[in-house]
Amino acid sequence: MRAGFKTIDCDRHVVEPVDMWEKYLDPKFQHYNVQMGGRFTLATRIGGVLQNDDSLGSPGSGMAQDPIWRKKFKHGMTHNFEPQAYLEDMDKEGVDIAVCFTGIGLYATWGDDLDPELSAAMCRAYNNWLYDFMSHDPDRLKGVCLLPLQDIELAAQELKRCATELGMVGIFWRPNPHMGRLMSDRAYDPIYAIAEEHGINISVHEGIQNRLPWFPENRINTHFAHHSACHPMEQMAASLAMTSGGVFDRFPKLTVSFLESGAGWLPHWLERLDAQVDNPMLSEGYGGKEKPSEYFRRGQGFVSCEAGEEALPAIQRTLGDSVTMWASDYPHRDAMIDFPRALDILTGVEGVTPDFMKQLLWDNPAKCFNLKV
């Protein structure tokens, strides 16, 4: 709790141990030589091949060398971000419940050319490790699983296991086209149906320097430009696919969260999409039964904000109280400047009412991730 508000962090990353693949991957797949890229990195190598695009630098490779990062996250780093230290950092920041997202899963299992059986084994390994991690305090640690989306049948099997045996609350989902499919592709309908049945959130999360197509790859040549642009632009494309592709109509109880991109893009984007739908000369090809903004207003779409976002009052005014959540991105680079004062900064944003703050910090993420709190 911070400033009188109970708090759910809707995007808090774990730091997988360097020997996770060695300990958790089924021995039948050890010949693939799956290895972590190093301590406190986000990279995985399969047969020596890095599973991300390192043309602008390996993702996460500089975190442990950065003096600010080392100072801010010294406690977690000293204890290898093991569960007890993780919970102690939550206490320091005022976080009651964390929705736990992967670090290495940003890249490890997303290659279009990855053997589906290996992808499934890697997802099982990670999900089992995360379950063990959460078991240290299951009331406070909630997990988001990985699925082998190269093969829908294998992904459906793993999702059922995660929902019924492991208690996962979300599916980590990249917004980028994968296997030539947009998120609205009907090939994903079996996954969405299982998620809807079990109250599992589709947790859309971009990550830089991946091997998948990304916005705007033909106009970027620096890490700064890449990180600044790809997160909101990919989320705009993903929300466009989900609304215009009819997914929210086919699965009216499905919830989808759009994370780690800030929230300020959403009111502008939905206003523009609504205007396109209203114009008969511009709406050809729109496949939704409702305007895009309506899916968010009725509780199917959610967006995460960061500390200090001045757009929050505008989001409340245009979309209401029930759309926005807070995410720390702990312990990645986006989090290192504000930690552990992010909630102090957030609750100090001018024009945000206490009722809206309560919704943002507790009610909305609880609904989004179907948390029984």
Of all residues in the chain, the percent with pLDDT exceeding 70 is: 97
Q: Which pLDDT belongs to residue 153?
A: 99
Q: Which pLDDT belongs to residue 256?
A: 99
CA 98/CA 228 separation, integer angstroms: 25
Residue 2 lies in a domain: no
Q: What is the mean pLDDT of residues 291-303?
A: 98
Q: Which pLDDT belongs to residue 43?
A: 85
Q: Which pLDDT belongs to residue 237?
A: 97
Query: Which residue from 66, 22, 23 is spatially nearest to 41, judged by alpha carbons?
Result: 66
Q: What is the mean pLDDT of residues 283-295?
A: 98
Q: What is the mean pLDDT of residues 314-335?
A: 95
pTM, two decimals, is 0.96
Reported as a single tens digit per residue, the pLDDT across 352-369 is 999 999 999 999 999 999
Q: How confident is the model at residue 93 (pLDDT cuts 50, 70, 90)?
A: very high
Using the predicted structure, report yes or no on whether residue 57 has a pLDDT greater than 80. no
Mean model confidence pLDDT for the chain: 94
Residue 168 lies in a domain: yes
Q: How confident is the model at residue 216 (pLDDT cuts 50, 70, 90)?
A: confident
Residue 359 Cα distances to 13, 141, 353, 362, angstroms: 22, 20, 10, 6
Reported as a single tens digit per residue, the pLDDT across 222-249 is 888 888 888 999 999 999 999 999 999 9
> What CATH number does the domain containing 207 carry?
3.20.20.140
Q: Which pLDDT belongs to residue 174?
A: 97
Using the predicted structure, report yes or no on whether residue 55 has a pLDDT greater than 50. no
Residue 197 lies in a domain: yes
Residue 237 Cα distances to 164, 201, 243, 245, angstroms: 31, 18, 10, 11
Q: Which helix (H) or strand (E) holds 101?
A: strand 97-101
Q: Which pLDDT belongs to residue 53?
A: 61
Q: What is the mean pLDDT of residues 48-66?
A: 66
Q: How confident is the model at residue 56 (pLDDT cuts 50, 70, 90)?
A: very low
Positive/negative CA dihedral, 108, 112, 114, 117: positive
Q: Are the C-beta atoms of residues 172 and 144 closer than 8 Å to each other? A: yes
Domain ranges, residue 222: 8-369
Residue 95 lies in a domain: yes
Q: State both tokens at 99.
A: 């929705």
CA 148/CA 186 separation, integer angstroms: 17
| Higher-scoring residue by pLDDT: 58, 345 | 345
CA 264/CA 258 separation, integer angstroms: 12
Residue 157 lies in a domain: yes
Using the predicted structure, report yes or no on whether residue 190 has a pLDDT greater than 70. yes
Of all residues in the chain, the percent with pLDDT exceeding 90 is: 83
The number of distinct structural domains making up the chain is: 1
Q: What is the chain's length?
A: 373
Residue 176 lies in a domain: yes
Residue 275 Cα distances to 39, 200, 293, 311, 319, angstroms: 48, 31, 10, 21, 15
Q: Which pLDDT belongs to residue 61?
A: 53
Residue 353 lies in a domain: yes
Residue 3 lies in a domain: no
